[in-house]
Amino acid sequence: MEGMVAKWYTTNTGKSLSEFARLARRIANQLPRGSTVLEVAPGPGYFCTELAKLGAYSITGLDISHTFVEIASKKAAEAGVHVDFRQGNASRMPLGNDTFDFLLCRAAFKNFGQPVAALQEMCRVLKPGGRGLIIDLRKDASMESINREVDGMGLGPINKMVTKLTFRTMLLKSAYTKAQFQYMLAQANFRSVEIQEAGIGFEISMTK
């Protein structure tokens, strides 16, 4: 079952590859080559692979799913880039203190069973001065804006319907409000935090 869902997600999100390439370019523009980068919960690893194509970064991806670690490693190898995809829990990262210059967590935070521990772990593994970016759905996103977003994903009619239903029945239920994020972020030790609304989601920038 987990494998089937992982493969469905890999194929569906693969249709928005340009979005991952755009995000990778945006991050690369702010990040000196040679920087250490972590993606928390990379799934198929599209962002890591796109970033690796742009320069000599040292990139790690940490995902709880063995299937996704396998898929992401294979896709990076096919693209001819190296990313260190590892299996592990965002709330108990098998990674050292003060290791990363930058970390990203996209479309995954709302799935974490222990979200506060995940924020504390993000803070622990960032270098002092390192920056983190969480991009995730916001609970008050309207169904109209979600429908528009899904319509722009380039999916066929059935996948489009399933994706809209997934947003309505699962994703919005587990998404957080701004106030909930503020409450959780206050329990981690970041020097500064900024929460911005962006489309159907939030972009949360954190500096250690």
Binding string, 59-78, against ligand SAM, x = CB under 6 A?
A: ----xxx--x----------
The minimum distance between CB 65 and ligand SAM, in angstroms, equals 4
How far is 70 from 74, CA to CA, in rounded Å? 6
Q: How far is the CB of 186 from ligand SAM (least distance, A)?
A: 21
| Alpha-carbon dihedral 115, 199, 149, 178, rounded to 10 degrees | 30
3-state SS assignment for residue 174: helix
Coil, helix or strand for 193?
Answer: strand
**Nearest one of 136, 124, 137, 138 to 38, comparing CA atoms:** 124
The residue among 106 and 139 lying less far from ligand SAM, judged by its C-beta, is 106
Residue 208 binds ligand SAM (CB under 6 A):
no
Q: Does 106 bind ligand SAM (CB under 6 A)?
A: yes
Q: How far is the CB of 88 from ligand SAM (least distance, A)?
A: 7
Which listed residue (24, 38, 42, 103) binds ligand SAM by CB under 6 A?
A: 42
CA atoms within 13 A on the CB side of 68: 23
**Of the candidates 41, 59, 103, 175, which one interacts with ligand SAM according to CB under 6 A?**
41
Q: Minimum distance between the CB of residue 20 and ligand SAM, rounded to whole angstroms? A: 7
Q: Which residues does 44 contact at the CB level (< 8 Å), separation at least 6? A: 6, 9, 10, 13, 14, 68, 71, 72, 75
Kindly state the smallest distance separating residue 61's Cβ from ligand SAM, in Å. Answer: 9
Is the CB of 34 or the CB of 162 nearer to ligand SAM? 162
- Residue 74 to residues 41, 44, 71, 98, 125, Cα–Cα distance (Å): 16, 9, 5, 28, 26
Site residues (vs ligand SAM, CB under 6 A): 13, 41-43, 63-65, 68, 89-91, 106-108, 111-112
